[in-house]
Structure 1
């Protein structure tokens, strides 16, 4: 059984000092009310190709300090309405109607500064602690100009306000570490958005997946903070318990995209009784009204549709609906629009965002064993395999082909295994999409920070792999050759992960990304010069793909690094497989091997430049895709 709703009890559990720090009211940005008028969404029906209304002339008016629930059966338009009110794009939809803050239509920038959106799925990084999650949200939020001391005070206040004090230093939770509970995660999701100082909070199914007690716990804490700070809370919610339902101040009922009721929660019973559907005693009013508005399971669908049409008509023509329209119209101030200049916010600093994102990613990288530790183990295993398969190759002509094979394997399969980065990037991408939606930072900061945090990690992999595989295979035993090999392997991995970023940015689907990246790597292997030398490669494949194949430049650089300054013996019978000017000495000049491929020495700088251009191209395409795509 859920606890008795007692918001005052929640508030009194917070110290006076914490209340003051959490409150932190914004000068010049006080939001007194939030309204929407005649909101209509129309889309083209895929079957009939005719216009279809998802929402029809929906109105509402909520004052500061109030919580409004959006309720209705599945498919009633709750989430669509919440997205419209939060000014989130509905692709392919035609929107009509207006939303107002303090009776004025704000610009999108102002609206972003005054609001935040908490999605149904928690946008939390599992390897961060509870306190770190709120801290990084504060650093990235930039909603208000506050000092570091005020920021830390707000963090401490939110930990108290949402009952997370004891979990402050607990990891949120990863596949290998349980972390905090589902209800605590939901409270943390809200707290991490409130730290940015919004005045309007949008919640998409905040109690989804929670039991009755946890649902009440989440909503009660949200209401306590909303009451204390005069916030406006808009929440879509599905089948709340009686005690959770009673926490809301106002209620908007939808059915088939049409409004059926808007007003105080405590007046719902009176209204339904007046239209002939009195709520029975000892019945959860939320369950009763959802059953009343749901026609999906009625045996007589025509009768059910008639009931809903009659309810909608009674609401539209009733005094309550007319009074709501008058309340909205009386609040509209056409001559006093809300401008961005009226919002006290800090100037966006992309450099600061990049530093913060790198800091957060660094913490995640050394704590997340699944995303990073397992990948390191995988690469080290690959190094041991390569080193022991091509163990101690001798500098004679019998080893030339095996050495060439080893070089191809080391470069091609290391870049191929970069596909293991897909899950980690998709997780980062999901976090970015949700945080960008709340105006925290843009695609530029995300792409730059993602690139920077990967460099030391990829260099560590390249160095550790090479220390094992290079010396076990007995490739050219000089320090210069070794570090040149490390450089090529490092650039190979940077290019491979850049390809992963571009593909995963365009197609945020794990299975599809694996298929595309595996196909691309198969193509690169086929045309990189090892399977078929560039001298005889089909012109189409040579000109269409060889030059943009990063593996081709890596293979070329590694081959030149190995054979450019090394000689090989021809064996006891002095029958040299490669005829060079050293044949009379029963030796093979490595440059003779390079001649078979058509490779020249002395062009390392040029090849590095081309490879860096390919990396830049992938990253720029990834940035462009993330900039243009909103989801």
Structure 2
């Protein structure tokens, strides 16, 4: 049954135009952009200058062009010329002060166009521990609509693997700069494959050959050329292509400081500049010649470099391009009969529950290597054993020691999960932005799955720690006392984790977030009730926001109860009169209040993290 379904999908959805040509796009798209201008605010002055001015800087200065189905446009230009900004604008991913008109078959950018558009970023943002197959299957399960079954989505992922020549490495992990995996070219093809899963009509790529050798780069561009022949519209930025790559491009757009120096057929670019007096003095790579001109340099017959006026090149292009662009615009009006139609009212390709469970499976597969790392487990085990030995068989005759152990556990399991969680969102920000910008899933489904995926390790390690330390240290060996202590510890861990998530999401800079977390946790520890019993009234309020204070209070209540005594100079004294305990107290109402305060923090910190992610704009537009 699965084989029949796979064959049906292959025939209907993955129909090939000819041998070696990848399947066609669903809707041919004519991309047209008229007078595109983009401005940003540029601060002048300095940190210590009073009269700091905010000036507008223009990145794109009236860019025009048309790309039709079956064509591959390469945008060339030196660094800072505006290539990536223009690509991002054309892909519907650029906000701010963007002016001009960008149309797709005569329509403005919309969600339905977004679902038919693929965007490959310059950096391959992939999970390193997932295999090639897992990466593409998880993407298929999230991005493809529910009109396809799970088996059909997996079949599509397998088909993309075959068509991109990834079969030999399909079971290899993707890897990254720190983890050996597939090669750079294979990793780039995986990134392209993620976008091909939706069978896009329009495909954008930001420097797809960056960092690759010439042979691998040619394979990538050759694959893209096959995609274009299947009826897709392909737009890419590229820094300095070889001659072989240059002649694969149907059209070339040359940018310099946000201005268009040339737009048209790549084969006609040299002739255009020769007509205005800038012919190459020797046989050379056309892209090298174009980039020299974009940098304002022209080499004459005597091999001397001359600084040229780029404004002359800009004016020459504008005077010669008006008629051609009008002709292409006319072709767009008469030749485009494919208008995008909404196929349903669903805003997302899959349901919330489907997104949650797929993301959960992916998170567990990816993070199990980090969560169950030998270093992390070894760190906890070593501290547990050393703590057990230092407080070995402590009893009420050494009350200060027992209370010291409880407060040490409070501090250790405040810092440890806090600093583990603080890196969560800063490290995953690029992945989150990439996947959310393509409309893969809701922010809420990602956030909840991320919380649940972390629970096993967040709860297992402190439980193992307590099992070792608790009985070695001679704390009360009854089931009730142990589970009360364990509950208090796990609650402390989850609250500290929530604080880390909130700080990481709010600050997003790992160094700054770590510094802020250190200061906050030290303040919480100092106000926890162990180090200082007589806190001045004007700063006494700090304990009411301290995680350590409430956890320490729960720990005291889990070990000692009203009526217990401890050895003192007068014989046996009530446990509640012991100074550190008297300061905190362990009455039932106080215990419930401490537990409720921690539960409120547990929820509150996570809500702060969620809204912080929304605030920075990682939402579906």
Query: Normalising by structure 2, what TM-score?
Result: 0.88
| CA deviation vs aligned residue, 1:60-90 (integer Å, no higher than 9, x gap) | 1111232211110111111111111112234
Contact 2:261 2:317 in 1 (8 A): yes
Per the TM alignment, residue 332 of structure 1 is displaced from its structure 2 partner at its CA by 5.0
- Match of residue 6 from structure 1: none
- Match of residue 601 from structure 1: 587
Equivalent position to 2:555, from 549, 553, 558: 558
Judged with a 3 Å threshold, the aligned counterparts in structure 2 of structure 1 residues 176 and 37 are, in CA distance, closer, same or farther, namely closer
Judged with a 3 Å threshold, the aligned counterparts in structure 2 of structure 1 residues 271 and 557 are, in CA distance, closer, same or farther, namely same
Between 1:178-187 and 1:373-382, the stretch displaced more is: 373-382
Judged with a 3 Å threshold, the aligned counterparts in structure 2 of structure 1 residues 519 and 295 are, in CA distance, closer, same or farther, namely farther
Is the partner of 1:121 in helix, strand or coil? coil
- Match of residue 60 from structure 1: 65
Contact 1:102 1:331 in 2 (8 A): yes
Equivalent positions of 1:9-158 (< 5 A) are 22-23=14-15, 30-47=27-44, 49-90=54-95, 93-107=96-110, 109-142=111-144, 145-158=147-160
Is the partner of 1:341 in helix, strand or coil? coil
Judged with a 3 Å threshold, the aligned counterparts in structure 2 of structure 1 residues 391 and 226 are, in CA distance, closer, same or farther, namely farther
- Match of residue 379 from structure 2: 378
Per the TM alignment, residue 137 of structure 1 is displaced from its structure 2 partner at its CA by 0.8
Contact 2:116 2:198 in 1 (8 A): no
- Match of residue 626 from structure 1: 613
- Match of residue 513 from structure 2: 513
Per the TM alignment, residue 559 of structure 1 is displaced from its structure 2 partner at its CA by 1.2
Distance 1:590 1:75 in 2: 71
Judged with a 3 Å threshold, the aligned counterparts in structure 2 of structure 1 residues 539 and 440 are, in CA distance, closer, same or farther, namely farther
Is the partner of 1:377 in helix, strand or coil? helix
Per the TM alignment, residue 204 of structure 1 is displaced from its structure 2 partner at its CA by 1.5
Distance 1:143 1:66 in 2: 28
Equivalent positions of 1:388-399 (< 5 A) are 388-396=389-397, 399=398
Per the TM alignment, residue 614 of structure 1 is displaced from its structure 2 partner at its CA by 0.6
Is the partner of 2:211 in helix, strand or coil? coil
Equivalent position to 1:575, from 569, 574, 579: 569
> Structure 2: which 5+ runs fail to align?
1-6, 17-21, 45-52, 300-304
- Match of residue 448 from structure 1: 448
Is residue 2:533 matched to residue 1:541?
A: no
Per the TM alignment, residue 19 of structure 1 is displaced from its structure 2 partner at its CA by 8.2
Contact 2:206 2:236 in 1 (8 A): yes
Is the partner of 1:99 in helix, strand or coil? strand
- Match of residue 352 from structure 1: 354
Judged with a 3 Å threshold, the aligned counterparts in structure 2 of structure 1 residues 28 and 278 are, in CA distance, closer, same or farther, namely closer
- Match of residue 401 from structure 2: 402
Per the TM alignment, residue 266 of structure 1 is displaced from its structure 2 partner at its CA by 2.1
Equivalent positions of 1:260-299 (< 5 A) are 260-279=261-280, 282-295=283-296
Distance 1:175 1:387 in 2: 40
Distance 2:192 2:387 in 1: 49
Distance 1:16 1:276 in 2: 58
Distance 1:19 1:296 in 2: 53
Distance 1:145 1:26 in 2: 19
Per the TM alignment, residue 412 of structure 1 is displaced from its structure 2 partner at its CA by 1.1
Contact 1:422 1:510 in 2 (8 A): yes
Per the TM alignment, residue 553 of structure 1 is displaced from its structure 2 partner at its CA by 1.2
Equivalent position to 1:614, from 601, 608, 613: 601
Distance 2:24 2:226 in 1: 21
Per the TM alignment, residue 170 of structure 1 is displaced from its structure 2 partner at its CA by 0.5
Is residue 2:475 matched to residue 1:475?
A: yes
Per the TM alignment, residue 401 of structure 1 is displaced from its structure 2 partner at its CA by 0.8
Is the partner of 2:74 in helix, strand or coil? strand
Distance 1:26 1:219 in 2: 16
Per the TM alignment, residue 312 of structure 1 is displaced from its structure 2 partner at its CA by 0.7
Judged with a 3 Å threshold, the aligned counterparts in structure 2 of structure 1 residues 591 and 340 are, in CA distance, closer, same or farther, namely farther
- Match of residue 12 from structure 1: none
Per the TM alignment, residue 460 of structure 1 is displaced from its structure 2 partner at its CA by 0.3
Contact 2:298 2:307 in 1 (8 A): no
Between 1:77-86 and 1:558-567, the stretch displaced more is: 558-567
Contact 1:29 1:342 in 2 (8 A): no
Contact 1:68 1:235 in 2 (8 A): yes
Distance 1:606 1:336 in 2: 67
Q: CA RMSD in A?
A: 3.0
Query: Normalising by structure 1, what TM-score?
Result: 0.86
> Structure 1: which 5+ runs fail to align?
1-14, 577-585
| CA deviation vs aligned residue, 1:320-370 (integer Å, no higher than 9, x gap) | 34311442255359x99967725797644122111111110111122347x
Is the partner of 2:612 in helix, strand or coil? helix
Equivalent position to 1:203, from 205, 211, 219: 205
